Structure 1
């Protein structure tokens, strides 16, 4: 796997991914950009960077051993009955959702025959179960069936996946960072679906010749001797991994001043953003970036760095409109924050 810290350029995409890892409740990230700009490489590199997590051994849902919100029902019942559970360390799962996947493959299926004949809830877990506490990646999400996108976004928002068949209902935790990528030439997502993604990163092909050469040389070096290249990046990878762990712990103590929250909502109001998702996500992202940088107080600069990522895809009222590059959001931000933003 190409190391995350060795990826040159595309800072907007990298920042959005890191903030979603620190606070998965931001709601995932939609990455739209030109072909061959390293979208898939960066997302897969992120999973490799993340620290191992504690899970209940042999549990299909990667249940958390102590947090009831991230446990399957069986594990919770065992703990309530005082039974001991085995704990294991596991790499964070990176689940690829293929374009041709069916709803049963994504959500899981219930074996009705077994349930009726043996009286047990025979559940075959799907990709959402595997992705719990990990990353669910959908390449070309703009080509995915709208119904399936709805299912993914509902699970990502609620943290649970519920499967119902013939009066039998089963639910399990499904808390994951949803990452979608696509090429705008192949069509955009409907505004209603786009709005459900926490952030929207825009990726452009690098134009600067020197930087292009650096990227090509790095890739060539990695392909010729992957292990040596990984060894050289190991210190940086370890340092960033530790930084993420500390940021996740610091997030609970990170605060955002009331006046700043009012100004964030003023920006959303001036931009005529529908609903309150934009306000909530911008607040969360600003806290996450402060935590990433070792602080417990959000600054105006933190808000400036995340506000475009959080709002640009919420401005589109007409499906035929293109997504704002960031100019409108920056203009509204500067008007509201005035001299403080200078």
Structure 2
């Protein structure tokens, strides 16, 4: 089997990954790879396509004991950032698409998100709690510049005084700094920016279309200056790939005035595991065995632990070492744990279709 050259500008190295739903897969043999360019010419560049979705609802509620929010909104499905480790990749299989290259090239947008959110907020008996954005795919991925769905959602939250949190890997969050600053003035928002490394080359391999690490750190500084509660998330920590940058990330974020931080160990649910293994074999074949050995050691011998109460809590010597390093790094940087305290008391239900609320 002849391995094709690396796919530049994308995280996944193929779309042919087995899925739980029996999607058709195909494999090109070495003879065809050698002869393909002479027959069909050079392969075309992968293009990003976007299809509009029109769901009937937009807010997802959960009762998971492992996460700090009970409701979320995702304006997009699929993510052009292309982070190879993204735990959301398996959701693309529900569309009969590959969690590999399809996840980062065949995207879905929900242009009616703000309208649907308004209807949710207007329901009799609705009780506000922080609405999380960026929990599945990034609300500030490149297509947000065209669709501006995230901005429309923030406008509804500001109008109704509804608390909202954002998690992103993009400096594009600054495009909405005016709204975020106003939301922060009412204690209605907090922003977490994930920084995985300080090496731009490594970042291009891991998360090819996300903002460079320096831009993310600069965005954290701008948010702090504007009075927006900003947190740095060292996530995911990939042993023997990104863990060496943990202390440096915390130090630089602390110097910018960021006062809280968190970390998450790499998780490889469902189809993410074979995609990540393939990525390792292409970019880090010399240490692939070591990386996966540590991943399995902290997950009780498996690529991933899906269990409630344990999936977000890696165990063992390696996990304890990273946990200790993170705690000491935060202490040196003058940072504490993330403690989001937003105001839910000022919520005012919106009017729908021009009708005023009777409450």
TM-score by length of 1: 0.27
Q: Relative contact order (alpha carbons < 8 A, sep ≥ 6): 1 or 2 greater?
A: 1
TM-score by length of 2: 0.26
